[in-house]
Structure 1
Amino acid sequence: MPPALKALFAQLAGCIVAATLVRSAPLGAGIWPLVAVQAISAAATGTVLRSARWWLPIHLGFVPLLVLAGRLDADPGWYLAAFGLLLAVYWTSFRTQVPLYPTNRATVAAVADLLPPGRRSRLLDLGSGTGSLLCPLARLRPDCRFRGIEAAPGPWLLSRLRARDQLNLRFERGDFFARSWSDFDVVYAFLSPVPMAKVWAKAREELRTGLLISNSFPVPGEAPERIVQVPDARATVLYIYRFGSTALQTE
């Protein structure tokens, strides 16, 4: 069952449990006992459905926050604006299960060290977000060519603005699985565990020679040729996979 459908089912189950208890047993005065039953039931249903752990606080807080929001007497335009902002930033994350992960400076330096010196590498960033990897990387390696593909309109627009003066960098909006990767010799992915098997299959098909660099999430069932430990606060790990005879930088 898709995660979004699990979430919907859990919330509906919580409402059904709460409505049933209202008819069969006293829950106390006011709306909050009813809200508490709904929230706990929704979280319990999500747990039974094996939803990811981070869904638990969402289920516990969803209806209580709705009730509180209804009592704020705020202009509906604020809610519409908040929805529009979240939609612009996260877009189809509920379907792809790939949130917005910015790449930090230490990781940018580590990726730069993996690009062969004196060679005009062509790097593709899958889900390039706000350009946190490619904008500084394009300045570090002006001899190389970089392209990012991002689906969410908000991060894509911000990345375009950041890169407006960088001639060796281009950002596109769209689905990176729908684009060919055959023009690149390095593919970088900072996604989630969910799409990595599909990323591997496409890379094997389209990268005759090249590198697949995955930030934090290894390809299931495949041993990387090299693992790079990034000296940053979150202990970032880069998993390096090689296709063909492309040379890797050595420490």
Structure 2
Amino acid sequence: MRGDYLILAGVLLFVIVTTYYVVITGISPMPSSRTSRRKINEILNLAGVCAVVDLGAGWGDLAFSIAKAMPESETMAYELSPFPWAVMKVRNGLFGPRNVTVRRADFRKVSLAGTDAVVCYLYSELLEKLRHKLEAELKPGTLVVSNVFDIPGWTPEAVHKLYDSQCPQVYVYRVPDRTAAAVAAGVGLAG
């Protein structure tokens, strides 16, 4: 009987903590589909990137897929929610690949400097807020690949339509030159 209560308490704890982090982050961990992972790997391979960051990596499916498809690259996977992060950390420890680093952190508070490419599966409202961080911290021309959702305020370099109900498109962007972006927006830059 006591074991039943422990199981119930564990399930309840999981639900409460998961709900708490959904409220904080505004999104629940959602795995990328196999179709979208293949397309993202293809995009990254063609670009020849060496340092990839997965923002809000969830359970790690996309980060591990990238690392396996690109064994010479380094993939950094950020996840704030403790349960998906723990699963990802255990998966990485037991099954590799070794070119993935898993960090429990709020990606909005870490530096993205030196990154060759950013991948994410985040909703548009969060991407709109994240856009300013990407513009401030990444070099112009840095590759940004968004699974499913567009980045408001940016024009995609390409939109890959997928025959996949879970992940119907992948957006490909390059971080714009801040000077050109400011001029296009009619905003002067203080110097």
TM-score class normalised by the smaller sequence: 0.7 to 0.9
Q: 1:90 to 1:132 in 2, by over 3 A?
A: farther
Cα offset for 1:136? Answer: 2.0
Q: 1:214 to 1:118 in 2, by over 3 A?
A: closer
Cα offset for 1:232? Answer: 2.3
Cα offset for 1:118? Answer: 8.2
Query: 2:58 touches 2:79 (CA, 8 Å); kept in 1?
Result: yes
Query: 1:97 touches 1:194 (CA, 8 Å); kept in 2?
Result: no
Q: Residue 118 of structure 2 aligns with which residue?
A: 187
Deviations 1:91-149 (A, max 9, x none): 42113211111011111110111114483421111110111101122111101110100
Deviations 1:29-60 (A, max 9, x none): xxxxxxxxxxxxxxxxxxxxxxxxxxxxxxxx
Query: 2:32 touches 2:62 (CA, 8 Å); kept in 1?
Result: yes
Q: Residue 15 of structure 2 aligns with which residue?
A: 86
Q: Does structure 1 residue 115 correspond to structure 2 residue 44?
A: yes
Q: 1:117 to 1:239 in 2, by over 3 A?
A: closer
Alpha-carbon distance between aligned partners in 1 of 2:64 and 2:16, rounded to the nearest angstrom = 24
Alpha-carbon distance between aligned partners in 2 of 1:177 and 1:203, rounded to the nearest angstrom = 10
Cα offset for 1:77? Answer: 5.1
Q: What secondary structure does 1:115 align onto?
A: helix
Alpha-carbon distance between aligned partners in 2 of 1:135 and 1:116, rounded to the nearest angstrom = 14
Q: Residue 198 of structure 1 aligns with which residue?
A: 129
- After TM superposition, the score normalised by the length of structure 1 is 0.62
Alpha-carbon distance between aligned partners in 1 of 2:87 and 2:78, rounded to the nearest angstrom = 13
Query: 2:41 touches 2:65 (CA, 8 Å); kept in 1?
Result: no
Deviations 1:166-224 (A, max 9, x none): 22111100100111111211111112233111111111111113111111221223321
Q: What secondary structure does 1:98 align onto?
A: coil
Cα offset for 1:151? Answer: 0.6
Q: Residue 177 of structure 1 aligns with which residue?
A: 108
Alpha-carbon distance between aligned partners in 2 of 1:148 and 1:117, rounded to the nearest angstrom = 21
Query: 2:33 touches 2:166 (CA, 8 Å); kept in 1?
Result: no
Alpha-carbon distance between aligned partners in 1 of 2:134 and 2:47, rounded to the nearest angstrom = 24
Q: What secondary structure does 2:71 align onto?
A: coil
Q: Does structure 1 residue 237 correspond to structure 2 residue 166?
A: no
Alpha-carbon distance between aligned partners in 2 of 1:96 and 1:122, rounded to the nearest angstrom = 25
Q: 1:133 to 1:235 in 2, by over 3 A?
A: closer
Trace 1:1-251 onto structure 2 (pairs within 5 A). Answer: 79-117=8-46, 119-164=48-93, 165-208=96-139, 209-243=141-175
Q: 1:234 to 1:118 in 2, by over 3 A?
A: closer
Alpha-carbon distance between aligned partners in 2 of 1:142 and 1:190, rounded to the nearest angstrom = 22
C-alpha RMSD of matched pairs (Å): 2.2
Query: 1:93 touches 1:99 (CA, 8 Å); kept in 2?
Result: yes
Alpha-carbon distance between aligned partners in 1 of 2:13 and 2:163, rounded to the nearest angstrom = 37
Query: 1:120 touches 1:143 (CA, 8 Å); kept in 2?
Result: no
Sequence identity (%): 25
Q: What secondary structure does 2:77 align onto?
A: strand
Query: 2:60 touches 2:88 (CA, 8 Å); kept in 1?
Result: yes
Question: Which structure: larger Rg?
Answer: 1
Unaligned runs of 5+ in 1: 1-74, 246-251
